[in-house]
Amino acid sequence: MKKTDYFSFRFNNDKLIFLDQTKLPFKEEYIETDSYERIAEAIEKLEVRGAPALGIIAAYALSLSVKNSSAVDIKYNFNSAFKRLGKTRPTAVNLFTALDEMKKIFEQLRDSDDVYITLLNKAKEIHNDDIEKCSRIGENGLKVFRRKSNILTHCNTGRLATGGEGTAFNVIKTGFENGLVNYVYADETRPLLQGLRLTAFELERNGIPFSILNDSSSSALLKSGKIDFVIVGADRIALNGDTANKIGTYNLAVSCAYHRVPFYVAAPTTTFDRKIATGDEINVEFRDKNEITSPNGIDLSPAILEAYTPAFDVTPSHLITGIITEEGVFNFPYNFLR
C-alpha cells in the first residue's frame, strides 16, 4: 500500500469496508460487513467518524438493511434500520440528511422495483456528491490564502472524515500542492486525540510538514504571531452561521478574535441545517465520562469522579471570518443561509 492509499470506507461486493479509526495510528485494520447493526455500532464507537462520512455510511447501511429481505419483511427491516441509525450520534446533521434522503427514495418505490439496487444507487450518489463537494471546497479554499501560510487546525477533517479528500484538511492539502502552505500546527484535540492520532496520520501520509500541540497551547501559539489563519470543519451549521464542531473549537475562535487571526470553517452545504435559526437549537452530544477518566481502559482518576463531557461546542457566527463551501467562500453575516 502506498503512503496515500489509506481510505476511511469503501463499498465493494455488497459490503461496506471501513477503517477502524480507534486503532490508528499504530494499526490499520479494515473491517468488512453487510450488517446495518455493525455499521451503527461503528458510528457509536467512533470507528468511523466525521460528519460527511457518517451520512454516507448510514446511507449504505440502509441499503444493506433490505439486501436479503423478503417482500413481507422489507418495510419493517428498513424502518428498523432507519430508527437504529438515527439514534447513534445526535449532532452531525449529515447523518440525518442522508437518512431522510434514503427514506424519501424508499417511500417512492413500487413493488416491482429492485429496492436494494435502487437504495444502493442512491447511497453511491450521496457518496459521489461528497467526493465532488470536497474537491470544490479545496479549490475554493485557495481564495483565503494571502501568502505562503502557517495554519492551525483542530480535530480531523480529511479523508478519514469524509467521502472525498476532506473539508478543512483538503483546503490545507490543496494549498500545500499549490505552494501556499509553509507549516501546519494540529491541536491534539482532547479527550480522544483526533488531532494527534488522525490528523497527524493524514498530514504525514500526504508529506505536509507539521507539529502537534496540546489544546491549551493554541492561544500562546496565536500570540506568537506564527499563525496566518485557523481552519476547522463543522458538524452542523445553523441558519445564522453558528457552527457546531469538536469541543475546543469555540475556545480557539475566541482566542483568534482576541489575537486578530482569521478563523475559517470549511464544510459542504449538506452540513447546513436550515431547520434551525441559531446554534442554541443544536443538540450537542455528551460522551461517556470514561473517555476522559479512563482512556483506552487506563484509569487516570478514581471512578467516583464525575466529568463534564460534551463532544462538541458551538461557535457564534460573528467569530467566524468565513465559511468555505463547495459553492464559494462566504463572510459574516451569513445571509446566504437565510
- Whether residue 209 is preceded by a cis peptide bond, meaning omega within 30 degrees of 0, is no
Ramachandran assignment for 260, one of left (phi > 0), alpha (psi -120 to 50 degrees), beta (any other): left
The candidate with the shortest Cα–Cα distance to 272, out of 48, 105, 52, 46, is 52
Please tell me the distance from the alpha carbon of residue 71 to that of residue 7, in angstroms, as a whole number. 35
140 grid coordinates = 475554493
Residue of 228, 235, 242, 273 marked active site: 235
CA distance 87 to 289: 19
Annotated catalytic residue 235 = yes
Smallest CA-to-CA distance from 85 within 47, 44, 51 is with 44
Residue spans of alpha helices (H) in 178-313: 194, 200-205, 218-223, 249-259, 290-293
The Cα angle at residue 250 between residues 246 and 256, in degrees rounded to 5: 125
The closest alpha carbon to 252, from 285, 278, 274, 227, belongs to: 227
Q: What's the rounded Cα separation, in Å, for the pair 28 and 222?
A: 34
The DSSP 8-state label assigned to residue 286 in this structure reads B
Segment 284-287 long-range contacts (CB within 8 Å, at least 24 positions apart)? 284/90, 284/91, 284/244, 284/310, 284/311, 284/312, 284/313, 284/314, 285/89, 285/90, 285/91, 285/310, 285/311, 285/312, 286/310, 286/311, 287/311
Active site residues: 235
